[in-house]
Structure 1
Amino acid sequence: MTKTLIPFADMGLNPALLQALTSEGYHTPTPIQSQAIPDVMKGKDLLGIAQTGTGKTAAFALPILHRLAADRKAPVPRTTRALILSPTRELASQIADSFKVYGAHLGFRVAVIFGGVKYGGQERALQQGLDILVATPGRLLDHVQQKTLDLSTTEIFVLDEADQMLDLGFVKPIRQVVSRMTARRQNLFFSATMPTEIGKLAGELLKDPVKVQVTPQATTVERINQSVIIVEQGRKRALLSEMFADPAMTRCLVFTKTKHGADKVAAYLEAGGVEAGAIHGNKSQSQRERALEAFKKGKLRVLVATDIAARGIDVDGVSHVVNFELPFVPEAYVHRIGRTARAGADGSAVSFCAPDEMKLLRDIERVTRQKLKAGIAATTRPWRRWTPPSWLRASARRPPCRTTSVRAATDAAPAVAAATAIRTATACVPKAARVSPTAFAAAASPAPSRPTAPSRRVRPSIPWPANARPSHRWKATSR
C-alpha cells in the first residue's frame, strides 16, 4: 500500500525554510523525506535506510535547521551545535552546500572540514563557533586532539553513509568521536545498506530510534536501465571509447577499482578525442575540485572515479554510469549506479564484466535481487593462426640463428611457393606416381646466393689489459 506523501507546507517547517525550498523548485518531498522529517523535528533518534539519490540529505538537513531556528543560541567559540560526519571530502562539501542553500534566510554559521588542505582556514572557522559542522572523521579527530574543537556541547549528531564508513575502516574513529560528546543528544543514522557491524553500532548509539526503511536494503532505483556486457579485460578500453560515438552519452561517470586504472582510462579517452578527467584519492583537493566543477559545467563529458568518490558525486543530469570494473563489495554497485536517475530522472548503467569477474557479477545479482540484462561484446581476438602442413614443418624444425633468419626466410620463399604450386597441381595424381613436394621444390628452386644453414655465432674476442689477473683471463676464455 502506497503511503500518502506529506507536502513540505504541511510539515510545520520554518517559513524561511519553505521560502528556500520554493526558490529551489522543491514542492513535494521524497518518501524518505516525508517519513523522516516529522520524527526528526520532534527530537527523536532515527535510523533511515533508503536508496542512493532519494534525498537523504534534505531528510536530515531540513529538520535540523528547523530545530536550531526554534532554539537560537549564540555560537560558543570552538564548539558546534550540530555535527554531520561524512566518509568523503566531496560528499562533505555537498552536504555543507545543501545546508547553506536550505538555510539561506536563517543566517547560521556552516563550515566543512576535511583532510588534504591546510589547517589555518579551518581553525579560524572553528574559533568563531559554529551552528553546523560537516566533517570527515580523520580531520575532525585532528582538531579535537589539538583542542581547536570541543564536542561536549554538541546537540545533534548525524552519521551519513554509515555503511561506507564501515568499508573505509572508520568505525573506531566514530566511536572516538562519540565518546567526546554528551549523552543528551539526538542521533541520526542514514545509509543505503545496513551491514551487521553498522547495525551493532546503531544499537549502541541510538536510543529507541524510529526506523524508516523506504525500500529493501541494497536495492537499485527502478528508473535506472541496467545492463552488463561480457567482454575481455584487454578489450574494455576500446569498447568504452567506441560507446561514446553515441550522442546520447552526454554526461557519463566511469568507475574503476584502482587509482592508477582511473588515470589510464581517462588518458585513453582523451587520446580518442573524448573530454575526460579523473578523480581519486591520489589527487590533491584542488585537482579534485577542478575536475568535479568542470564535469558539473559540462566542460568534461566523462569523469573517471574510484569507489572513494562513488557517494560524493551529486551532479544533475548524469545520463550514464559505466562500471569499467565490477566492485569487490556488491553493495558498492548500488552506490555507483545511484549517481544517475537522481531526483526522479531516468538513467542508464552499463557494467563491463570480464570472464574472471563472473563471481562478482553473481554476488551483485544476489544482493540486488535482480538479473541484469547481459550481452557479449564483439571480440577483437585475431583469427586462428595458420598452421603449416607437416611436410613444411619438418623442414623448419631447426630454426636459423637470429643473424641469418631474415636472409634465410627470403631465400626459402621461392621454395615454399613452388612446393605449394606442385602440391596443388598434383592433387589428382595417384599417390604412387607422386613426387615428394619437398624434394621437387628443392630441386626446382635456384641455388641460394648464401648458405642458409645456421652458422654458429662466434663470441668476439675482448682485449684484456696487461695487468689483469690470470683468474680474470681464465674466466673470460672459459665462458
Structure 2
Amino acid sequence: MLIRRLGNGIRAISRTGLVSGTALLRQQRVNSLRRLQVSSIAHQEPKMGSTKTMNSSINAEVAETQEENASKTEGSDVSENKIPDVTPESLFKDGILEKDLYRAITKAGFKTFTKVQKETIGPAMSTTKGLVCRAKTGTGKTLAFGIPSLQHAYENINTPRKVQSLIITPTRDLALQIEAELNKIIASFPDRSVSRKLTVATHIGGTRQNNLSPKFTPKIIIATPGRLNANLENSHFLEAFSELKFRVYDEADRLLDIGFTEELYNIDSKLREATESQGNDSQFSSLLFSATVDDSVTKFATNVFGRGYQYIDCVDKDEGEAHHLVEQTLVQTKSLADSYIGLLNFVTENLQKKDFKAILFLPTTVSVDFTNDLLRAYFSAQKKSSLSRSILMLHGKKSQSYRDRVVRSFKSARSGLLITTDVAARGLDFKDVTDVIQISPSSTPADYIHKIGRTARAGKSGKSILFLSGEELKYVKILKDNRKIEFKNVYDYQPNEDFHNEIKEISTDKFEAFDVEDFVKGYMTYIANIKSKYRLRHASLIQELADLHRILIGDESAFINVDEKFVKAHLSLQNEDAATIFNHKRRFNDKPSFNRGFKKRFSNDRFSNDRYDNSRKFDKRGKSDNFFDRDFNNSYAGSSYGDRGNNRKSSYSKNNNSYKRNDRNDRY
C-alpha cells in the first residue's frame, strides 16, 4: 500500500467539542492514530508526470493507466511496510472510537473491517488537509468514510443547528443507500437520546429545494452536487455549515466524469465562506474516494485540498482493477444479432436455477424496456409466469418511487434478473449477485470494471460474461492494456436454432414493428457514439443491427423507417450503405453522405446511456448541467432542475393471447 503525504511526519488535528471535552482524551487519540499508521517513513519528492498526445483513440485509452500512475504524485510519497490489524474493538481500546459508537458499530454487525476500512479509517480520523483513497468497488468504502463521518458528528452532537459531516455523491440512489447504512448504525446506539440527535438527511433531486427547518438541522447531510449547490444559495442553509468538521467525496471520478466539476468548486467556495464567516478555520477535514485516480481527480484534489494531501492506494501495484474473485468470460459471436439472441438464451436457461441472481447491462433505456418485455413474453409463452415475475428493470427514466421499489425488491430477492443501463453500474450494493451480463463495449473501459463490480462483493465470488461480435473485439485489447483485464474463459458462440426460432416467433407475434425499430435505432445511436473511441467499423455494426431488426420482425428484406434528421444526427454512413438498411423518402440517392454535424453532436466523451430520446434525438447537455440530478428525477419535472422526459408506463392489452404496447407518448 502507498501513502503520500507532504513532509516527513504525520500530523493530526486536535478536534474540539468532544463529548468528553478533555484535552487528555484528545491527545490519547492523536497518539493512538500515530501508532496505528506508520512505523517507518521514507520521504520522496513529488514528481509530476505527463503523457504524450497520441493520435490513435485506442492509444489514448491505453495511455490512461500511465496517466493515472503519473498523476498521483501531487502529494508526497511515503511507503508503509504493514498496516496493523485494525478492528472496531482496537479503535475503541486505542481511544479513537467513542464507546457508544463502538457499541453501535458492533451491534449493527460490523465486528471486523475490510482491507480498505483497515487502511483508511485511521488516516481519515486524523487528516488535517485531505485524504485521497483509490479503492475498488465492493470493498467496503461506505463504512470507510461512514464511521469517521459518524465520529465527527457524535463528537459535536450537542452543537445546535449545525451540520458536522457532509457526504457528496453522484447519484440519488447512492445517496439513499449511504443513508440507510449510516442509519443502521445510528439505530444501534444504546442510548436512544443519541439516536434522536444523531440525524442523517439527504438533499437530492426529487425533494424540496431547501428542506432544512429552523428547528431541525441534521448532523450529517448526504447530497448530490446539483441540489447541494442550489440549496447553498439559501443563506439559512449555508449558515448551517459554518461549523462543518468533515467532508467526503464519494465516487469522485464519476462526479467529475459526468460534468459536476463547476458545481463542486462552487460548493467548496461556499463551504469555506460559511466557516470563515463565523471566524472558524475553513480547513475542515476532507476525504475523497475514487475507483480510478487519473489527471482530473488529481487536479481536483490539488485545487480543493492543496498539495499536502495524503494518498492511499488500496489496490496492489501489479493487481488489475477488476476484483480477483470475479471469473470473467468472453463469448465471441459472428454478429450483434447473435450476441443479443445469445445473451437471451443464456438468461432464459440460467434464470430457471434457484441460485441465479444476475444483472444484465444494456446500452440504452429503450433496449432495457424492450428486452424486459421480450423476456416476459417468452416465459409467458412457456407458461412459466413465476419466472416473468422474477425479472425487474431499472433505468434513469423511471420515477424515483419506482426505482426505490425495484432496488428494494432486488436487494431482498434470493434469485432473479435485473435489466438495467449503466445507472446501476456504480454505488448500488445488491446482495449475493452471482452473475453480471454485458453486451457490446461499455461507454468507457472504466464502466466495464464498475459493472462487473456488482458481483463478488463482501468476499464472495462471482461471474461475469461479455458478448462481443467480431467487429467489437478491439475492445478486448483495450481492456487488457488499459485495465489489466484477463478473460479466464473465451468461447465461440454456437447458435441454438430452436431458441432462435422461438424468439423470432414471439417477437413477431407479440410486438409491433415500431417497437423493434425503436430498440434497434437506439442501439445504432449508441454504436455511432462509441465507434471512434474503439475504432469500430461502424457500417458493419449498423448492418448487423439491421439484420437483428429483420430477425425480430420476421422479414428478411425489411427496411428501418427513419427521417432525414435521424440519419444526419446519429449516423455516419455512405449512401450505398444507408440504402440497404433505411427507408427514407429520398432513398439516399441524391446526397453524398449523411455525416454532417455528426462530429459536433457526438464528440462528448461524457456520453451517458440514459440520454436517448426515442433514438431520434441526442439530449445534449453542457458540462455544468446537473445531469444526474435531472435525468434521475422524473418527479421533479417541469422545474429548472426537472427531467424533461416523461416516465415510461408500459401497459399491455391481452388480445388473442398476445401482448402489445399501448403507449406511444414515451420519449424513449
TM over 0.5: yes
Q: Helix, strand or coil for the counterpart of 2:231?
A: helix
The question of 1:313 aligning with 2:416 is answered no
The question of 1:374 aligning with 2:374 is answered no
Partner of 2:232: 144
Partner of 1:185: 284
Post-superposition shift, 1:95? 0.8
Correspondence for 2:102 among 18, 21, 35: 18
Post-superposition shift, 1:380? 6.2
Alignment of 1:178-217 (within 5 A): 178-182=268-272, 183-207=282-306, 208-216=308-316
Q: Deviations over 1:78-97 (max 9, x none)?
A: x5221111111111111111
Correspondence for 1:83 among 148, 163, 166: 166
Alignment of 1:88-237 (within 5 A): 88-104=171-187, 105=189, 106-107=194-195, 108-115=198-205, 117-119=206-208, 123-124=211-212, 128-147=216-235, 149-150=237-238, 151-182=241-272, 183-207=282-306, 208-216=308-316, 219-231=321-333, 232-237=335-340
Q: Judging changes above 3 Å, is the alpha-carbon distance between structure 1 residues 145 and 127 closer, same or farther for their aligned structure 2 residues?
A: farther
Correspondence for 1:32 among 100, 113, 116: 116
Q: Give the Cα separation in 1 of the matches to 2:201 and 2:127.
A: 23
Q: Deviations over 1:194-238 (max 9, x none)?
A: 121111001111242222111148611111111111123113343
Q: Give the Cα separation in 2 of the matches to 1:157 and 1:70.
A: 15
Correspondence for 1:72 among 157, 173, 177: 157
Post-superposition shift, 1:147? 4.3
The structure with the largest alpha-carbon Rg is 1
Q: Judging changes above 3 Å, is the alpha-carbon distance between structure 1 residues 125 and 353 closer, same or farther for their aligned structure 2 residues?
A: farther
Verify the 8 A CA contact 1:276 1:300 in the aligned structure 2: no
Q: Judging changes above 3 Å, is the alpha-carbon distance between structure 1 residues 249 and 2 closer, same or farther for their aligned structure 2 residues?
A: farther
Query: Normalising to structure 1: TM-score of the pair?
Result: 0.74
Q: Judging changes above 3 Å, is the alpha-carbon distance between structure 1 residues 72 and 371 closer, same or farther for their aligned structure 2 residues?
A: same
Verify the 8 A CA contact 1:123 1:148 in the aligned structure 2: no
Post-superposition shift, 1:334? 1.2
Verify the 8 A CA contact 1:219 1:369 in the aligned structure 2: yes
Q: Give the Cα separation in 2 of the matches to 1:203 and 1:311.
A: 25
Partner of 2:403: 288
The question of 1:6 aligning with 2:86 is answered yes
Query: Unaligned stretches of 5+ in structure 2?
Result: 1-80, 273-281, 380-386, 501-668
Post-superposition shift, 1:277? 1.9
Q: Deviations over 1:416-457 (max 9, x none)?
A: xxxxxxxxxxxxxxxxxxxxxxxxxxxxxxxxxxxxxxxxxx
Q: What is the total number of aligned residue pairs between the two structures?
A: 378
Structure 1: 4+ residue segments shifted above 4 A: 1-4, 124-127
Post-superposition shift, 1:339? 0.9
Q: Deviations over 1:144-170 (max 9, x none)?
A: 234452144322111000011122111
Correspondence for 1:53 among 129, 138, 146: 138
Q: Give the Cα separation in 1 of the matches to 2:368 and 2:235.
A: 38
Verify the 8 A CA contact 2:322 2:485 in the aligned structure 1: no
Q: Helix, strand or coil for the counterpart of 2:268?
A: helix
Q: Judging changes above 3 Å, is the alpha-carbon distance between structure 1 residues 66 and 152 closer, same or farther for their aligned structure 2 residues?
A: closer
Q: Give the Cα separation in 2 of the matches to 1:294 and 1:364.
A: 33
Verify the 8 A CA contact 1:75 1:131 in the aligned structure 2: no
Q: Judging changes above 3 Å, is the alpha-carbon distance between structure 1 residues 2 and 354 closer, same or farther for their aligned structure 2 residues?
A: farther
Q: Give the Cα separation in 1 of the matches to 2:202 and 2:415.
A: 26
Q: Helix, strand or coil for the counterpart of 1:225?
A: strand
Q: Give the Cα separation in 2 of the matches to 1:304 and 1:126.
A: 42
Q: Helix, strand or coil for the counterpart of 2:122?
A: helix
Q: Give the Cα separation in 1 of the matches to 2:213 and 2:363.
A: 36
Post-superposition shift, 1:307? 1.5
Post-superposition shift, 1:292? 1.1
Query: Unaligned stretches of 5+ in structure 1?
Result: 383-479
Query: Normalising to structure 2: TM-score of the pair?
Result: 0.54
Partner of 2:601: none
Q: Matched residues, percent identical?
A: 27
Verify the 8 A CA contact 1:158 1:189 in the aligned structure 2: yes
- Look up the equivalent residue of 2:290 and give its one-letter code: S
Q: Helix, strand or coil for the counterpart of 1:158?
A: strand
Verify the 8 A CA contact 2:156 2:164 in the aligned structure 1: no
Post-superposition shift, 1:176? 1.0
Post-superposition shift, 1:141? 1.8
- Look up the equivalent residue of 1:65 and give its one-letter code: L
- Look up the equivalent residue of 1:167 and give its one-letter code: D
Q: Give the Cα separation in 2 of the matches to 1:216 and 1:299.
A: 33
- Look up the equivalent residue of 1:119 and give its one-letter code: R
Q: Give the Cα separation in 2 of the matches to 1:30 and 1:178.
A: 30
Alignment of 1:302-341 (within 5 A): 302-341=417-456
Q: Judging changes above 3 Å, is the alpha-carbon distance between structure 1 residues 341 and 248 closer, same or farther for their aligned structure 2 residues?
A: farther
Q: Deviations over 1:42-84 (max 9, x none)?
A: 24321111110001111111122123222333342xx522111
Q: Judging changes above 3 Å, is the alpha-carbon distance between structure 1 residues 103 and 314 closer, same or farther for their aligned structure 2 residues?
A: same
Q: Give the Cα separation in 2 of the matches to 1:199 and 1:205.
A: 10
Q: Helix, strand or coil for the counterpart of 1:149?
A: helix
Over the residues paired in the alignment, what is the CA RMSD in angstroms?
2.3
Q: Give the Cα separation in 2 of the matches to 1:294 and 1:140.
A: 29
Q: Deviations over 1:94-135 (max 9, x none)?
A: 1111111122214211001211x2417x61568621210001
Q: Give the Cα separation in 1 of the matches to 2:399 and 2:450.
A: 23
Q: Judging changes above 3 Å, is the alpha-carbon distance between structure 1 residues 366 and 2 closer, same or farther for their aligned structure 2 residues?
A: farther
Alignment of 1:236-255 (within 5 A): 236-244=339-347, 245-246=349-350, 247=353, 250-255=356-361
Partner of 1:464: none
Q: Judging changes above 3 Å, is the alpha-carbon distance between structure 1 residues 196 and 248 closer, same or farther for their aligned structure 2 residues?
A: farther
